[in-house]
Structure 1
């Protein structure tokens, strides 16, 4: 079975998006060009940021049609991340709340990609 290795987001400006994610996640940008940038996430998984205008085949959906999710330890960590991201000026589209799967909130990046932070419900 192939290994999961990339999350690719189609963005307007890969270098600018790389700067946004490097600052937000505290990860280094390891590759950048006018049409593509890449950051390591965790366990060999990379975040690729590809120019919406040059991706092949051409993208057919808009930003916000899916989510990138980040798991944190507990509800207090959700609240702390929410406060941090709000202070950084991210647009929040869902305030922190408890849902069936745990405590969560959703922000969007400059391209409108949904970024969900959540602490899973205890089993």
Structure 2
């Protein structure tokens, strides 16, 4: 058996609030919904789960670091278009579109503060 990650689970305060947020953001309904868990498809073989932090066993540790869900297969115009769409939807933006050493990017947050980065990655100047 090969270790092949196929999902990311975010612990959230309110699954219904987060599910509505991601359904709007992704433009697609969840694959499955349960009282304390909702599952979205991100790619054919990769999913995003939203788990109530109160209902998981063992209980999650206090946050010791951050997490960032990155969407990096974008062009500069994709970054600008998604930024405008998310602002219009009322998504919290923590970094407006800017060019950094790794590409053109902006950063938003979901209702629980998980970071969402959209990036037109450009590593052509690295050797």
TM-score where L is the length of structure 1: 0.91
**Over aligned residue pairs, what C-alpha RMSD do you find?**
1.7
SS of 1:78 mapped into structure 2: helix
1:41-96 deviation digits (Å, cap 9, x = unpaired): 10310100000111222112339711001124311111111111011101111111
User: Structure 1: any 5+ residue segments left out of the alignment?
Assistant: none
1:12 corresponds in structure 2 to: 13
Matches of residues 1-123 of structure 1 in structure 2 within 5 Å?
Answer: 1-62=2-63, 65-121=66-122, 123=124
TM-score where L is the length of structure 2: 0.88
User: Structure 2: any 5+ residue segments left out of the alignment?
Assistant: none
Aligned-pair distance for 1:15? 2.6
Contact 1:73/1:119 (<8 A) preserved: yes
SS of 1:20 mapped into structure 2: helix
Contact 1:9/1:48 (<8 A) preserved: yes
Aligned-pair distance for 1:122? 5.4
Bigger radius of gyration, 1 or 2?
2
> How many residues matched?
123
Q: How far, CA to CA, are the matches of 2:65 and 2:41 in structure 1?
A: 22
